[in-house]
Amino acid sequence: TLLGQRLNALVFETWGEVDVVGVCLPCDQRIGPGDKFIIGEIAKLNNKPTLIALATKTDLVSKERQLSHLVDVAALAEELGIEWAEVIPVSATAGEQVDVVRDVLLSLLPEGPVYYPDGEITDEPEETLIAELIREAALEGVRDELPHSIAVMIDEILPREDRPEDKPLTDVYASIVVERESQKGIIIGHQGARLREIGTAAREQINRLLGTRVHLNLHVKVMKEWQRDSKHLNRLGF
């Protein structure tokens, strides 16, 4: 799809700007041709980023399976003619070795100028972050059915007028975009139950992001074949 082409182009552009790449190779899955393709493409980059292998999901496998997987990870480097700066078994769910990953990444990053003020964790605009929070809530429970068919468009973000200064309220109007009427039904759910669940989950996250109470108004729109339509993609920020 056109969306896939644009996302792939963005990935390659981003790879060309980074110093370190952490390659996630889950312990509960065999290393496949897709993994080899991606690592091979990274190895061709002119900037030659440092590579570390993250053997993830260690909490889901036995010690024997983990050791076997680490052997496969080492063999992969030899097969592709690359070098792992580090190979780290890790489980984010169990919190195992997450601190090691952090320390290794920091040790491999070159020092540079301060680009952002202290306390700033992202340069993404609030609209983008809010859209991502809504999309994450919308995908909960339907990732297998609608993994790439959901997009979110922020229509308006407005501070509610005539509110006390110590009790501000922000109105957020957003559209969840799908490709087919059948997908719209999945998102809305029986008598709107699922859409309400999405709104509740997203609103809690947006409250924390904005630091104020939020009234979230969600609508579901059908944009047929939006992943293949350049005008739709531009409107949705892709």
Residues 147 and 86 in one domain: no
Q: Are residues 36 and 130 in the same domain?
A: no
pLDDT recorded at residue 147: 66
Distance CA 172, CA 137 (A): 15
- Supply the range of the domain harboring residue 211: 126-235
Give the E-state strand segments of the chain in sequence order.
Answer: 20-24, 50-55, 84-89, 151-159, 169-178, 213-222
Number of domains in the chain: 2
Low-confidence ranges of the chain (pLDDT < 50): none
Does residue 50 sit in the same domain as residue 140? no
The closest alpha carbon to 86, from 23, 136, 10, 39, belongs to: 23
Q: What's phi and psi for 144, nearest 5 deg?
A: -75, -35
Q: Rounded distance, CA 87 to CA 1, Å? A: 35
53 near 24, Cβ under 8 Å? no
Q: For residue 137, what pLDDT is reported?
A: 93
Residues 6 or more apart whose Cβ sits within 8 Å of residue 96: 58, 59, 89, 90
Q: Residue 162: what pLDDT? A: 86
pLDDT of residue 54: 98
Residues 194 and 225 in one domain: yes
The b/e string for 170-193 (b: 16+ C-beta within 10 A; e otherwise) is bebebbbbbbeeebbebbbeeeee
Rg (CA), the chain: 21
Residues 151 and 232: their CA atoms lie apart, in Å, by 11
Q: Over the chain, what is the mean pLDDT?
A: 90
* CATH code where residue 104 lies: 3.40.50.300
The answer on 98 and 71 residing in a single domain is yes
Considering the domain boundaries, does residue 173 fall inside one? yes
pLDDT at residue 196, as a whole number = 95
Cα–Cα dist 98/220, whole Å: 38
Task: Kindly state whether residue 121 falls inside one of the protein's structural domains.
Answer: no
Is residue 19 a contact partner of residue 110, using CB atoms and an 8 Å limit?
yes
